[in-house]
């Protein structure tokens, strides 16, 4: 299986490549990608340097064009497709059919991967994207159980990629409208769950408070870890209690599932985290490279090194890990 790692900056790209990534994925500095944070992502010149460095080490570069343009903004996405081809990226990761259509018609030699934002979970959906847009890989949404992934892998018309480690999302990818409820900008069209211009942090007598467009999302005690604020991971008063009613901060960690994922034919495993630091990406990439190399060397004797889990635990949201939907036995 290939190891696909995040790159939110040129130093992070180099770190991922040096630590054993088979491919890195990145985005332009605009709303065409789903991590459109200020100070993140790549200029054209940085992408050129990144591609040159990655290719010199035998690593591929994918470009995330995985958000949904509105009609009046579609030209930006189309120009991004053409620019990606000119820069020499190895594949596009796209979700919206108009974007895929433009790539198919105007840049047919550039490989097309269906983004997780496309939310394709069936053989029929994958066949449609293969027939209409010639996709060469599909990233599965994080709502499928392991048995569902295995059944889909038996009949898939395209190679599959699955998320292996990183932040989770409670939504069916491509469908979230939560931030637009407060800010008027949905993550699937503007590329960020909580627009930075709407986020406010404040030290108060009750603790460190974070608000999104004036609405209180969370309050943290002294020394308590505070992640980037999103509506779904906020704490709210429900029936007289303060709790996480939607989603508690936790990270997906599927390292123990690698033998089953490999056995059913999954082509690539993906690390989430283009918003993360180079140090984070380097540590996670190193561990997953070791795990995949061990699996390839002796699949029948594969075991999870306890040291891997000990090193990954502090890197997880809320310092917690889960198998997410993979472990659902009722599906």
**Are the C-beta atoms of 157 and 125 separated by less than 8 Å?**
no
For residue 268, what pLDDT is reported?
98
- The CA angle 103-271-189, to the nearest 5 degrees, is 45
For residue 331, what pLDDT is reported?
59
268 and 295 co-located in one domain: yes
- Global confidence as pTM: 0.93
Q: Which of residues 188, 208, 243 is at a domain's end?
A: 243
Average pLDDT score, the chain: 93
33 and 158 co-located in one domain: yes
For residue 113, what pLDDT is reported?
98
Strands 111-114 and 60-65, sheet pairing: unpaired
Cα–Cα distance, 50 to 199 (Å, whole number): 31
Residue 199: inside a domain: yes
CA atoms within 13 A on the CB side of 171: 18
User: What's the sign of the alpha-carbon dihedral 69, 75, 79, 82?
Assistant: positive
Tokens, residue 87: 């820069």
- pLDDT tens digit string along 66-95? 999 999 999 999 999 999 999 999 999 999
Residue 173: inside a domain: no
Residue 319: inside a domain: yes
SS3 at position 114: strand
- pLDDT tens digit string along 249-286? 888 999 999 999 999 999 999 999 999 999 999 999 99
The total domain count for the chain is 2
Q: Can you give the length of the chain in residues?
A: 331
User: What's the sign of the alpha-carbon dihedral 293, 297, 300, 303?
Assistant: negative
151 and 126 co-located in one domain: yes
Low-confidence ranges of the chain (pLDDT < 50): none
239 and 256 co-located in one domain: no
273 and 221 co-located in one domain: no
261 and 130 co-located in one domain: yes
* DSSP structure string for 65-84: E-S---GGGHHHHHHHHHHH
Q: Buried b / exposed e across 84-98, counting CB within 10 Å, b at 16+? A: bbebebbbbbbbbee
Q: Which of residues 243, 265, 288 is at a domain's end?
A: 243
For residue 180, what pLDDT is reported?
87
Cα–Cα distance, 328 to 131 (Å, whole number): 31
Q: Buried b / exposed e across 101-121, counting CB within 10 Å, b at 16+? A: ebbbeebeebbbbbbbbbbbb
Range of the structural domain that residue 122 is part of: 2-168+250-327
104 and 214 co-located in one domain: no
């Amino acid at each position: 299986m290939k190891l696909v790692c995040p790159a939110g900056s040129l130093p992070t790209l180099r770190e991922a490549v040096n630590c054993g990534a088979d491919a890195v994925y990145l985005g332009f500095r605009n709303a065409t990608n789903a991590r459109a944070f200020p100070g993140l992502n790549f200029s054209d010149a940085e992408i050129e340097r990144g591609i040159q460095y990655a290719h010199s080490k035998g690593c591929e570069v994918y470009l995330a064009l995985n958000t949904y343009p509105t009609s009046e903004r579609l030209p930006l996405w189309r120009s991004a497709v053409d620019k990606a081809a000119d820069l020499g990226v190895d594949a596009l990761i796209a979700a919206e059919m108009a974007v895929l259509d433009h790539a198919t018609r105007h840049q047919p030699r550039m490989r097309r991967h269906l983004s997780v934002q496309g939310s394709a979970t069936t053989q029929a959906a994958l066949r449609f994207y293969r027939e209409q847009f010639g996709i060469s890989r599909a990233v599965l949404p994080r709502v499928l159980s392991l048995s569902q992934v295995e059944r889909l892998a038996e009949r898939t018309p395209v190679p599959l990629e699955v998320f292996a480690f990183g932040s989770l999302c409670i939504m069916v990818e491509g469908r979230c409208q939560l931030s637009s409820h407060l800010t008027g900008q949905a993550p699937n069209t503007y590329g960020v769950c909580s627009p930075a211009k709407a986020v406010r942090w404040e030290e108060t007598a009750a603790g460190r408070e974070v608000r999104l467009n004036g609405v209180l999302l969370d309050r943290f005690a002294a020394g308590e870890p505070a992640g980037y604020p999103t509506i779904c991971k906020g704490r709210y008063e429900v029936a007289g209690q303060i709790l996480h009613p939607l989603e508690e901060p936790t990270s997906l960690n599927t390292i123990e599932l690698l033998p089953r994922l490999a056995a059913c034919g999954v082509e690539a495993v993906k690390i989430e985290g283009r918003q993360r630091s180079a140090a984070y990406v380097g540590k996670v990439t190193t561990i997953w490279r070791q795990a995949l190399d061990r699996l390839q060397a002796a699949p029948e004797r594969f075991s999870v090194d306890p040291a891997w889990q000990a090193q990954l635990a502090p890197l997880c949201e809320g310092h917690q890990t889960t198998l997410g939907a993979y472990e659902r036995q009722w599906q």
